[in-house]
Amino acid sequence: MLSFLDPNTLARTYRDPVAWFILAVDLFPIWAVLTLGWGAAPLVFLYWLENVIIGAVTLAKMVATSVKEHVIGLIGILFVGPFFVFHYGMFCFVHGVFVSVFAHMSAGSNDPGFPTPWGLIEEALASGAGMPTFVLAIILVQVFLFVQDFILRGEYRETSVEQEMMKPYGRVIVLHIAIFAGAFAMAALGEPMWGMLALILLRAAWGVFLTVRRRVRIDTALQLKS
């Protein structure tokens, strides 16, 4: 956590163009709020879709990590992989149901009934103007980091299937409960502009923390090689 506040580490982090691209993606929703009329519901849906994307990337990381253990790892992922898909999928689905209820409450619309998983994704993609573009930007960031850091830099060698499987849960619990609570508060206040921007900046601050942590991991790996 101290590295997050260290000016030297921040400077090293943002010498990398990738760090600026990640920050731009995190701040991109400001444009949607200012020009496309996004309120709290599309923002929360966007971050919920991000959770779904991270779940898919986590599964890819679990598979990549299992490969290093050869036959035993591949056999193990046949059991652990479906368990993660079901468990994390249910976790996201329940979260998505609450987001959907919140969106309909904010819009003052009638209860649409109990949604299906695909129905939630469709609702999320249609919840705000330009949503597919924002989602595509998140996918590009996550795929790049998976290929560049996890595969090419060899992070898969330093972790386990179990460790990768548990990582997304903490992120959802810590970050998205805060965002969801903030969205409810903003809806209660009539969704003021400063509230929407505060939610985005909260998510961006978390992104800066993750980007700095990435820089620290890269620096540590370089020091060990030298």
Report domain extents, the chain: 2-221
**Which pTM was predicted?**
0.89
pLDDT at residue 148, rounded to an integer: 94
Structure tokens of 27? 């701040």
pLDDT above 80: residue 21: yes
Q: Cα–Cα distance between 34 and 27 in angstroms, integer?
A: 12
State CA 143 to chain mean position distance: 12
| Mean pLDDT, the chain, whole residue set | 86
User: End-to-end distance of the chain based on CA atoms, in angstroms?
Assistant: 25
- Tens-place pLDDT, residues 145-166: 999 999 999 898 888 898 999 9
pLDDT value at position 50?
Answer: 93
pLDDT higher than 90, residue 198: no
* Mean pLDDT to the nearest integer, 7-29: 91
